[in-house]
Structure 1
Amino acid sequence: MQKKDSFLVNRLKSVGYAFKGMLILIKTEASIKIQLFIAIVITIAGFYFEISKTEWLVQISMIGLVMSIEGINTAIEYIADFIHPEQHPKIGLIKDVAAGAVFIASIIAVIIAGIIYLPKIL
């Protein structure tokens, strides 16, 4: 009988798998590379314009939300392609809905960035 790993060892393995997944996303997905670039630019802007703690919290939350949903969208695309590699209307619908979720989060993030930065720029 194989010895079970401890709770702590299992958690550390989970973090390792999650980190590996994040690196795969960053290395292989153009959309995540774009989101990461935008996150870096907007973070630099945050320091330049000396945004408030509350603005930082909202900005960081939106960066995390958009990038997380982008990762989930990518996972959905991988699963859909695995299940049905050929083009199929239902698979296309699934991919479109997942992409739509990213789009919604991105639009909200742009609106929030406008609320934070437009008064500082103007």
Structure 2
Amino acid sequence: MKHEPSFREDLIFALLLVPLAIFLPINAVSTALMISSLILILIVELLNSAIEWIIDYVRPEIHPLAKRIKDMASAAVFLSYINCVVVWVIMLWPENAVWKRLGDMLSGH
């Protein structure tokens, strides 16, 4: 993946957030959903990279259809990020009392 800076950035993003998801005082299902949303970003980014590499290999010259395909693959990555944000916001929403439990845990109550 040395030729894929986007994947490396996504991997760093996931590696920073997975421990947070594990540390937060939430149930296992919520933790799994949060981590899964991060893994989905990595999967979609890999597919996006594969699509781009295939198009560049098969059709190195610029073509409107090739650009459209690449744009759609990039849009899939963007949607996976939106999915991740939505999942994390829902899991960490104040009504879920995560912040109160985290404060109690850190203060020793």
Cα distance in 1 for residues equivalent to 2:63 and 2:31: 42
Q: In the alignment, does 2:73 pair up with 1:98?
A: yes
Cα distance in 2 for residues equivalent to 1:48 and 1:61: 15
Q: List 4+ stretches of structure 1 deviating above 6 A.
A: none
Cα distance in 1 for residues equivalent to 2:99 and 2:61: 48
Between the two structures, name the one with larger relative contact order (CA 8 Å, sep ≥ 6).
2
Q: How many residues align?
A: 97
Q: Judging changes above 3 Å, is the alpha-carbon distance between structure 1 residues 38 and 117 closer, same or farther for their aligned structure 2 residues?
A: farther
Which aligned pairs between 1:23-42 and structure 2 lie closer than 5 A?
Answer: 25=1, 27-42=2-17
TM-aligned CA deviation for residue 44 of structure 1: 2.2
Q: Judging changes above 3 Å, is the alpha-carbon distance between structure 1 residues 43 and 104 closer, same or farther for their aligned structure 2 residues?
A: same
Deviation per CA, 1:61-95, whole angstroms, max 9, x where unpaired?
21221111110110000000011112211110010
Aligned equivalent of 1:64, options 21, 39, 50: 39
Structure 1: segments with no counterpart, 5+ residues: 1-24
Cα distance in 1 for residues equivalent to 2:4 and 2:31: 26
1:78 is matched with 53
Shifted more, 29-38 versus 90-99: the winner is 29-38
Aligned equivalent of 2:29, options 51, 54, 57: 54
Cα distance in 2 for residues equivalent to 1:45 and 1:65: 17
TM-score by length of 1: 0.71
Cα distance in 2 for residues equivalent to 1:33 and 1:51: 28
Deviation per CA, 1:15-70, whole angstroms, max 9, x where unpaired?
xxxxxxxxxx3x32111111111111211212332332011211222122111111
Structure 2: segments with no counterpart, 5+ residues: 101-109
TM-score by length of 2: 0.78
- RMSD (Å), alpha carbons: 1.7
Identity of aligned residues (%): 32
